[in-house]
Homo-oligomer: A and B are copies of this chain.
Amino acid sequence: MDTFSDNRLTDAQNELYEWIKDYMKNFQHSPSIRQMMYAMRLKSPAPIQSRLKHLQDKGYIKWQEGKARTLQIIEKISDVIPILGSVAAGGLIETYSDVQENLDISDVLKQKDVFALTVNGDSMIDACIADGDMVLMAPITNPYSIRNGTIVSALVPGLGTTLKYYVKRGHKIFLEAANPNYDPIELNPAEVVFQGKLLAVWRKV
């Protein structure tokens, strides 16, 4: 007996399921049964309820009985990815079995005014930020709040923008690379504008 056949969807069920997911992605809330009815070109809510029950039995959705528009999709939402375990990048470790938790990148993405920059060059290579990486940054509103060791994008007017470690010593600010081939840049606080601090690194291969 195929364990998957239990959860397999009929065409009608699958069409409804895909439509629901699309609706909820667009509107951030559940559709009503009558909306699904129209979308499925039906003229009575009964078939929809039947399909919803099947989708529920097969573990695709759930809802709060009697409550309007309370569907929930049971599965990874957009930005949640199952973390299946750890991999050794040194020796070998035991295999992973099942989902441990979910990788949720939304907490970074949903922050206010997050922006991304493309990295050029290798001055941060020892911080594992490589040429071509995307760095996700949060705007810096208060330069005095930056802590030493933070990776920031800084604009030095007339010169340009750079990604470096922020280090403040006395009244001087040093922008230090994570690559010994580059010398620190020494600046007065008035000479530099800090644009963002590093939240995350994204590398697509």
Contacts and interface: CB of A to CB of B under 8 A. Distances in A.
Interface stretch (A11-19, A36-44, A45-53, A127-135): A127-135
A68 B88 CA distance: 49
A55 interface: no
A190 interface: no
A115 interface: yes
A1 interface: no
A194 B151 CA distance: 36
A109 interface: yes
A187 to B, nearest CB: 11
Contacts of A75: 110
A27 B61 CA distance: 12
Contacts of A67: 32, 69
Interface in A177-205: 177, 182, 198-205
Interface residues of A, number: 79
A85 interface: yes
A117 B198 contact: no
Interface string A89-104: 1111111100000010
Interface of A: 24, 27-30, 32, 67-73, 75-79, 81-96, 103, 105-106, 108-110, 114-125, 128-131, 133-136, 151, 153, 155-156, 159-163, 177, 182, 198-205
Given A29-B30, A81-B109, 10 more contacts: A29-B29, A68-B68, A78-B78, A81-B115, A83-B118, A87-B119, A87-B162, A88-B161, A93-B120, A200-B205
16 contacts: A29-B30, A32-B68, A69-B70, A78-B78, A83-B116, A84-B115, A85-B161, A89-B123, A90-B121, A90-B182, A96-B117, A103-B134, A128-B130, A128-B203, A199-B205, A200-B204
